[in-house]
Amino acid sequence: MISGDFFQKIKEILDKVLNTQSENIKRSANIIANTIEKDGIVYTFGTGHSHCVGEEVIYRAGGLAPFDAILEPSLTGTTDVVKSEQLERIEGISKIILEHKRVTPKDCMIIISNSGRNAAPVEMAIECEKKGIATIAITSMEYTKSVSSRHSSGKKLCDTAKIVIDNCGVLGDATIQIADLKTPMGSTSNIIGSCIMHALIMEAAQLLNERGIEPPIFLSGNLDNCKEVNEKLLERFWGRIRVW
């Protein structure tokens, strides 16, 4: 089955991420743990389908509470997806978003962009650096090395983020070629990106635990005993996590 080929490809990429990106994942987790220890917020930002990776660990079972996804409707593609594809190439939008969200140096930002070339994610990393906000990028290095930047600086996300985690995806994202079809299928960036996000929060939680700090972790909302745990976390961070 062609689906079996796709599952095998996902396994191969996950193994590659584990074997090549573990150190960057650990370094990124340390930034996240430091942010939470300082009572900061971990923000995620992605345009187009990449915003789904940013949402993956927000307010869910096993997720850390002080995570906030920046979901700018004009950039996420949840509606008017063709328009959002054009808007993510325009400079100036991310600067406005960052200032509006009041992100501070005690916070950090995870920026997801598979190609790493468009203006919005590149600008977000640049503006964060200006404000002293640590940035973590999740991107495909094979993809980004094969395309030009769409930012006036000529830089890509991998050039502007503090730490870069390679999702080990291929140019064009699609990985499976079906016989007699010209266009490949089987995109991997969101699947691998989501795994990386969960790896980051688990590593960060372990670091916090080792420091004697109880990690603020949500229980599944469908467990009978969830309300007592989750309500305390909601009360603790209410008003600071805008996506709630």
3-13 mean pLDDT: 98
- What local confidence, expressed as pLDDT, does residue 64 receive? 98
- What local confidence, expressed as pLDDT, does residue 1 receive? 92
| Span 39-95, pLDDT tens digits | 999 999 999 999 999 999 999 999 999 999 999 999 999 999 999 999 999 999 999
Give the chain's mean pLDDT.
Answer: 97
| Span 83-118, pLDDT tens digits | 999 999 999 999 999 999 999 999 999 999 999 999
173-195 mean pLDDT: 97
Confidence of residue 29 (pLDDT cuts 50, 70, 90): very high
211-224 mean pLDDT: 97
CA–CA distance from 131 to each of 28, 43, 241 (Å)? 18, 14, 20
- What local confidence, expressed as pLDDT, does residue 91 receive? 97
- What local confidence, expressed as pLDDT, does residue 244 receive? 95
Task: Please tell me the CATH code under which domain 24-237 is placed.
Answer: 3.40.50.10490
